[in-house]
Amino acid sequence: MRIIRIIFIFSIIFIFLFVTACSPSDSGEETTRIRLFEVTHSLFYAPQYVAMTQGFFQDEGLEIELTNGFGGDKTMTALLSDNADIILMGSEATIYVANQGASDLAINFAQLTQTDGSFLVSRTPIENFSWDMLKGKTLLGQRKGGMPQMVSEYVQSQNGVIPHKDVEIIQNVDYKNLGSAFASGTGDFAQLFEPIASKLELEGKGYVVASFGEESGKLPYTIYITKKSFIQENPDVVQRFTNAVYRAQKWVENHTIEEIADAIAPHFQEIDRKTMVTVLTRYKNQNSWATDPILDQDEYQNLENVMAHAGELSKKVPYDMIVNTEFAEKAIQAEKQ
């Protein structure tokens, strides 16, 4: 009888382990894979990497397959061609898509950053910089039609500098080569993103003298975007994604720079600790990271002003046509309960 009881007990244990191993939660049957393309891989998007390393997406039953889109055009193309489910890039692209008459619109549903993330770098230290110092100089700039370049021209004009007239702007250098081009002698000034700006400064090859983010005010600078059809077919997935983003935004808001650096370090093993802390400090101090995922109308209107000034807004697109705040609002409400 004792042997029979032992066999019975082992049989129960075996059945339990077998059922547990084959359950949907462990087999991944209830996990949804999201093909997420980011316009570039950047410390600027710190809350996104926090959501990944802290398990916020995983808690929502989402598996993130992250891909560097290497630029706005390629990233939006990935979405429109169904090679991406969700993309992270500037919301100006959704306006371009709408004005091209797309039947399946690109919809902004969750905001990640709320300022420009680039800095003006000088070849020599300038203790008291003023924007009129650009006059008669050469500026190594960004791609025409992209948010960084439009913001640059907007900020220059707001400070009494006429772009392309008072200052020569070089725009034929690829984004990935801007830092090395400046270091090798191209331009008196450069508009650079992090960590390139801080790296040049730490190496004594450039000096950050102004922030385009501080000068231009709040903008829907980088937004999570998906197609209207994806929202219609997968509203629960979009909601869970937004929930994870909001949790990460609150986490970043309530943790120190050192803690943020620790959290995102696995995604930036090539960046040394000193540079990372310098970059994150700059972004946090100028409130670059949105504290919630809502893209509000004031920010959208500021975007329209920047685009119109640059001559890139052929026709205004109604806010409600390409912005959906429903998921962001529900994510915020859920966290309050």
Strands laid side by side in the 62-68 sheet: 62-68, 32-38, 86-89, 222-227, 106-113
> Which regions in the chain score pLDDT beneath 50?
1-29
- What is the reported pLDDT for 78? 98
257/323 Cα distance (integer angstroms): 31
Q: Which CATH architecture has domain 118-216?
A: 3-Layer(aba) Sandwich (3.40)
Predicted pLDDT at 33 = 98
Residue 27: predicted pLDDT: 37
pLDDT of residue 336: 82
Query: What sign does the dihedral 241-244-246-249 (CA atoms) show?
Result: negative
The C-alpha angle 128, 285, 113, rounded to 5 degrees, equals 115
Q: What is the pLDDT of residue 335?
A: 84
Are domains 32-115+219-336 and 118-216 of this chain identical in fold? yes
State the amino acid at position 215 in one-letter form: E
Q: What average pLDDT does the structure give for the chain?
A: 91
pLDDT, residue 144, reads: 87
What confidence score (pLDDT) does residue 1 get?
Answer: 44
Listed by start position, the domains of the chain span 32-115+219-336, 118-216
Q: Which residue has the tokens 């650079």?
A: 192
Instruction: Identify the pLDDT of residue 28.
Output: 43
Q: State the pLDDT at residue 211.
A: 96
At 44-82, the pLDDT tens digits run 999 999 999 999 999 999 999 999 999 889 999 999 999
Q: What is the pLDDT of residue 71?
A: 87
| C-beta separation of 248 from 50 below 8 A | yes
Task: Give the pLDDT confidence score for residue 3 in this predicted structure.
Answer: 47
Fold exhibited by the domain 32-115+219-336: D-Maltodextrin-Binding Protein; domain 2 (3.40.190)
Which DSSP letter does residue 267 get?
Answer: G
The pLDDT score that the predictor gives to residue 164 is 96
At 184-221, the pLDDT tens digits run: 999 999 999 999 999 999 999 999 999 999 999 999 99
Task: Give the pLDDT of residue 183.
Answer: 96
